[in-house]
Chains A and B, each alone.
Chain A
Amino acid sequence: MGASAGIWDKPERWLAAIIESSETAIMGTSFDGIITSWAGSATRMFGYTAEEAIGMSVYQLAWPGEEAKIPDLLAAVQHGERIHGFRTSRRHKDGHCVFVSLNLFPIRDERGAVVGVAKFARDMSERVREQQEQERTLAELITERKYRELTEHAPDGILEVDADGRIIIANQAAVAMFGFPHNELIGAPVEILIPHAGRSDHPGHRVEFMRIGKTRPMGQGINLNAIRKDGSEFPVEISLSPVQTGVGIVVIAVVRDVSARRSVEREVQRLQASYLAELEARQMEAERLNRLKSEFVASVSHELRTPLHTIIGFTDLLREDPQQTLTVRQGRFVENIQRDSEHLLELINDVLDLSRIEADGLTLHIEGVKLCPVLETVVTSLKSNAERKGIRIHLVCDDAIFVAADPTRLRQIVANLLNNAIKFTAPGGEIGIAVTAAHDFVTVAVKDSGIGIAEEEQTRIFDKFYQVGVTTGGVREGTGLGLAICKRLVEMQGGRIDLTSQKGIGSTFRFTLPCDSNHITS
């Protein structure tokens, strides 16, 4: 009792004992932050002895960035305020961070005036670290949960396989895909999911993959199959990613069941094949029909031409009438029969020619052709027609010009153009045929002084069945095929055909043909 009574008799000792045993750092500072007292757990908390600390500035204790708060705190206390639980960071003498909770009180003198600042600092470091640890753990848990949710709800099967080939994670999609219960998959060798044919080789592939450690993207490795628990196989695509973990390398396998896609692909292939077969059949049918059409046209044309040949021949004989047995009227009738028969024959020949060209049934015999004799032959054969209308034909041609052409078809082209020129030139008019050679091509121009062709009709003049009529004063003979045939024949021989025309003045049709390389014309 005596000792106890002694302590109670000396309250400053009692107070000093309390302060020394306190877990709180007790400090006194001036208003400018100079430490004036250092007691309690201050030395343990901040590493400085009282001798070191007293006289130091509290700013030296502040954790970088926290200094700015100190003046406000000191000023507040100077004005008599009390501050409780102010959380801040201080720097220990050895440099580590100390989280503290500060209580600040004004120190007053006997008259009650504020003369200093009393600070009580409680070490919160452990609590803050615990709190930070909890937050980190929580964040990891959230991440882990998110990862698991993502894995669990992924549309593809996801398996995690350890270095020994044991399945350690399998998501719902993998369970559904392979038909194994989750608990049967976990711990099982991944080879249970490999079809029997490739199962024995798989461990070797697995070890090799682990050794190389390179990600294999989805879609590589064609025609991979997997096997379900019921033994059925299905096509898959697999991506493999090696992941280094705390327990060694694991492989994350993402498995995609491509049965549906393969099925669609097969269906597409089937449809394509079916479509192609149908297309081919239709094409063959079209070709067959086209052949039939050509044969039919050729046959009909032949059958039509044969009697026409004799009609024309006999009327020609009749017109000779050496014994003068026909009356004038009868002679005119015979002439009508012959003229219309010849016209009909022209139509049939045009149809037959075009039919052959369109069916690719026209064979050309290209050779070096001396142009002038061909032109002269055509002019001679049509001269009588021109003379009947009082039309003069002028031919200007260099005898040295050769073209690479089919002589028969060349004759046909020139005859057609010259016939047209005669047809559309008024009596007493003139027709000129001129030949020029330049740049490996020969140009033949047939120029008439006829009625001309309106500009709007010029673009259609080479179309099949197109006849200038409205603008030609009613001259509408022929089939409308002659120029279409000419164009095809010229182009088949490597040339071009065009025209220039002026209504009321005349027309010039020009076609080109390649020079014969064996007779290059300068």
Chain B
Amino acid sequence: MSSEPFTCLVADGSATARELICAIVESAGLILCEAGDLNGALALACLHCPDLFIIDTAIDDAHGLYAIEQFRRVTRRAHIVAIALTGERYGAHPDVLRAAGFAHSISKPVKASQLRAVLTELLNRPDVYRTS
């Protein structure tokens, strides 16, 4: 594995919520890029080819749920590792999220310990793509 830190793209329509996620991700030692809408997120994804995506599914009128394919296209990657942030109390239906291409989901409000645990789990997986 490379010693380069991982890059994470955070996409959330709420600046405050975004700042919270970024703070947690940053505290986990990842390099951050953030966007308040999908177009911005796609542009950043094209530019930075992040290792990990954290996407609020409600962004841009719930288009976040269907954004994985677009990220694949702009990053030219066959596999995207993404975490869905959902507003549902007990989480969105796992089948729906799986079908949309998300590796994991976290229900808001996001607890720091919970997100860090997920990050650790995902970043230790061998299938996480590393930029060279």
A residues touching B (Cβ–Cβ < 8 Å)? 302, 305-314, 316-317, 320, 342, 345, 349, 353, 365, 406-409, 411-412, 415
Contacts and interface: CB of A to CB of B under 8 A. Distances in A.
Nearest to B111: A316
Contacts of B58: 302
Give the one of A305, A306, A314, A411 with max B CB within 10 A. A306
Q: Is the interface of A mostly helix, strand, loop or mixed?
A: helix
Contacts of B109: 308-313, 316, 342, 345
A501 B19 CA distance: 47
Contacts of B111: 312-313, 316
Nearest to A318: B112
Contact of B17 (A310, A365, A408, A411): A310
Contacts of B89: 349, 353, 412
A353 B108 CA distance: 16
Contact of B16 (A307, A407, A408, A409): A307
22 contacts: A302-B87, A305-B87, A309-B87, A309-B108, A309-B109, A309-B110, A310-B14, A310-B17, A310-B19, A310-B20, A310-B109, A313-B21, A313-B109, A313-B112, A316-B112, A317-B20, A317-B23, A349-B89, A406-B93, A407-B93, A407-B94, A408-B88
B93 A365 contact: yes
Interface residues of B, number: 24
Nearest to A306: B14
B18 to A, nearest CB: 9
Contact of A408 (B87, B90, B110): B90
Contacts of A302: 58, 87
Interface of B: 14, 16-17, 19-21, 23-24, 58, 87-95, 108-113
A309 B93 contact: no
Nearest to B85: A309
A508 to B, nearest CB: 23
A316 B24 CA distance: 10
A308 B92 CA distance: 19
A383 B17 CA distance: 27
Contacts of A312: 109, 111
B122 to A, nearest CB: 19
A402 to B, nearest CB: 16
A306 B87 CA distance: 8
B17 A306 contact: yes
A407 B94 CA distance: 9
Contacts of B93: 365, 406-408
Given A306-B14, A307-B16, A365-B93, A313 B110 contact: yes
Contacts of B94: 407
Contacts of A308: 109
